[in-house]
Structure 1
């Protein structure tokens, strides 16, 4: 029943088209690379991820449409979730999980709220090839090679749905955006949080949220003055379950916190972003939180 519902929602998102029959076109691309080597320097837990988003729609005028399905995001993501050590994990510890995911999501404005609704499917296990790619990259970089891939989570397809409501506000020259997010399928949680941005802010852009860190990245470019802009954010989640922490292993912590900060530089043609995120422990027995680093480069032609 649950998987059939997600499949129906995903099919509706994929087949959705504007009611006025305008031709769709590519409106923008968004991407964000995250790795704990850019943060606390360790290769553990939420070790690495990459998100690539394609935005499609009939047009973009600098603000969200009032109807769903006008602007669609198609996101491909991959992530490495690892135990404390890639060679000698603790006992107990979380198991290795290499994931590939696809998300179809619509973004629109409803009653003054920025709204996103999406559905997708995540693949996990040796069949994704993520673990072997991890091993190959470590061999190329002369880094310690993972030896725990034989105990990774098995092959599975995990459907999921996600939704977010955010209310953008302005206080002087600071942008303030409280939000609430719900997710079910891969991870069952309800999250509340707050984002702030200031400096040479980019206006008229469509911002997307990274799953693991909560960092926001641009999917459709807007306009900004040259210079630096800054982002701050925090959120708290109540967690009921996680496919990446299955029954029979370590238990998921019922509460999660994230704190994040980022700085972006905007030039006439080139832009760069670096952000850091602190994640609280995700499972019982995790001795401490971790710090991840995220990067993004943009070039306009």
Structure 2
């Protein structure tokens, strides 16, 4: 059963966004947006370790976009699917104090709302972990193509075991205009399931202000667009946040891992949009997640959208 679920989930990952949607009856719910974000530390510090790679896909369903999310719960829905690989720093002969290899596939349904200027996202889903995701086989195949070291049997034998965990999440934020080109958005976020944390942070935007619905990538913290606007040009983004983390299935207490309760992130990004093509590159600093982690890491995020 899990093999079929994994196959269906990855069939939803597409490299580009088609902004032209099929016509729908007036007032009917239909797909109004799509976004995809790729993260990899090879696009950052180039060291293929820890939060080493992820691919996140969002499909947005609702009635015609009116410039902001509706006020009602369930009126605007986001189906989000993410595949993520977490690895020790050495894929061949890992340090026993390093984190275990983990493959995770998450499927979430989020409702986006806006009430009196406050943006709210509430969601729930499932986190599927372990060899049943077949992400270990995928990494081995990709590394074989690239001529990179493949995870050894010792690494994969010690990976996070098969399990399925329910998860819930919420984010509340509010954007404040600093000028006609600059905006600041404080936010708070909570999550429970695969990881349990409470996070607070801020995002900054300068340039063509965000258009359409933005979703947040859980690994890098970068926000990615699910709709292409009409404005062209460059947009600079920046942000930082801190989280109190009380539990993580990726660092099981039973295996003797000591979780870093305070987790820090900082990020920069640049988006360019032309008439039919939009591209985003972001760089995120991810702080230490466990006590024996020697340092933080830099990971890159990439999004390409094509209108046709």
TM-score (normalised: structure 1): 0.90
1:107 to 91, 101, 112: 112
Q: CA deviation at 1:85?
A: 1.1
Partner Cα distance (1:45, 1:248) in 2: 20
Match runs of 1:165-180 below 5 Å: 165-172=172-179, 173-180=181-188
Q: Check the 8 A contact 1:73/1:104 in 2, yes or no.
A: yes
1:75-101 Cα shifts (integer Å, max 9, x gaps): 111000111211121121211101111
Give the secondary-structure state (helix, strand or coil) at the position aligned to 1:131.
helix
- Tell me whether 1:188 sits opposite 2:196 in the alignment: yes
**Structure 1 segments of 4+ aligned residues over 6 angstroms from their partners:** none
Aligned to 2:219: 212
Q: CA deviation at 1:162?
A: 0.3
Match runs of 1:258-273 below 5 Å: 258-273=265-280
1:257 to 259, 264, 267: 264
Partner Cα distance (1:233, 1:165) in 2: 15
Q: Check the 8 A contact 1:103/1:121 in 2, yes or no.
A: yes
1:22-79 Cα shifts (integer Å, max 9, x gaps): 4211101011000000000011110000000110012211111011111000011100
TM-score (normalised: structure 2): 0.88
Structure 2 stretches of 5 or more lacking a match? 1-25
1:186-210 Cα shifts (integer Å, max 9, x gaps): 111000000000113343x110000
Aligned to 1:233: 239
1:190-243 Cα shifts (integer Å, max 9, x gaps): 00000000113343x11000011110001133332x221110000000111111
Aligned to 1:128: 133
Match runs of 1:240-251 below 5 Å: 240-249=246-255, 250-251=257-258
1:92-143 Cα shifts (integer Å, max 9, x gaps): 1211101111000000012421000000101111111000110011011111
Give the secondary-structure state (helix, strand or coil) at the position aligned to 2:253.
coil
Partner Cα distance (1:154, 1:145) in 2: 19
Give the secondary-structure state (helix, strand or coil) at the position aligned to 1:248.
helix
Partner Cα distance (1:166, 1:243) in 2: 27
Q: CA deviation at 1:268?
A: 0.5
Aligned to 1:95: 100
Structure 1 stretches of 5 or more lacking a match? 1-20
Aligned to 2:282: 275
CA RMSD of aligned residues (A): 1.2
